[in-house]
Amino acid sequence: MKNKVYLQGYKLKAIWVILALIIWESIARFSSVTSLAFPSLTLIGKALIESIISGEIINQMAFSLGLIILGLIISILLALIMSSLSIVNPIVENLVQTSISIFHPLPGIALLPLIILWIGTGSKAVVFIIIHSVLWPMILNMVAGFKAIPQVYKKIGRNYEFSTGKIISKIYIPASLPYIIAGLKIGWARAWRAAISAEMIFGATGGRGGIGWYIFNKRVFMDTPGLFAGLIVIIIIGILVEDLAFGKLEETTIKKWGIS
């Protein structure tokens, strides 16, 4: 039954995608809009295939993914440490809440002048922006999940004489998985935006450029089909991660364990 529902969901998504492609191709072929603004699907597909064959878009996408994954791992560890400490210590909780109030509203791009002064324009600067963009919403979700846990779970842990670390790892984290996974989804999306924005500004970092630099170059040289090819690759990866990675994670944890 579940597989049937998932299949219907994918079919519906495919219908929307096909409909969007038909509308796009209709505008490209039958309207007076220039191909520079609305290239046909044929031109976009050709640009995408050429970039894949040359390895350009694959290498730059791999470079961006490497920075994003590194930033996400660091952000998850920091969020877990800060959220756990804020639960057991009121002073740390106040510090974390104050930090969130200060830094969460600040977009990473607004910090670029300071980041350039302090770190430079290399890969470390891109990772820093990713961490800043991901960390605060992840902490918010983790803390909200920890606070939403029923008191009976905590009492059970104390009755079994669990240490604070064991209560967090055995009770808080499993019971907060819906919040944590929601935070991961938000973090993943924000990491992409941060990385691409930073790459467009910093250019090629570490001797290599990411997908943001790829898109920026295509815009500069008025290669609109190539620009859309880069966007399509980002969309495809986003769909794969959202439906496969996060979907599988939810299926093997939240749905399997009956957490709500």
3-state SS track over 190-247: HHHHHHHHHHHHHCCECCECCHHHHHHHHHHCCCHHHHHHHHHHHHHHHHHHHHHHHH
Does residue 82 contact residue 134 with C-beta atoms inside 8 Å?
Answer: no
Write down the pLDDT at residue 73.
Answer: 93
Place of tokens 């295939």: 49
Contact partners, residue 84, CB within 8 Å, separation at least 6:
168, 172
Mean pLDDT of all residues in 179-189: 87
Residue type, 46: K
Write down the pLDDT at residue 7.
Answer: 58
Tokens found for residue 230:
């880069």
Does residue 28 contact residue 41 with C-beta atoms inside 8 Å?
Answer: yes
| Helical packing angle, 41-54 and 2-30, nearest 10° | 110
pLDDT digits (tens, 9 = 90+) for 32-81: 877 777 888 899 999 999 999 988 888 888 888 999 999 999 999 999 99
Answering whether pTM is above 0.85, one says: no
**In the predicted model, is pLDDT for residue 120 greater than 80?**
no
Mean pLDDT of all residues in 191-206: 76
Tokens found for residue 18:
């096909």
**In the predicted model, is pLDDT for residue 173 greater than 90?**
no
| Region for residue 25 given its phi and psi (left: phi exceeds 0; alpha: psi -120 to 50; beta: otherwise) | alpha
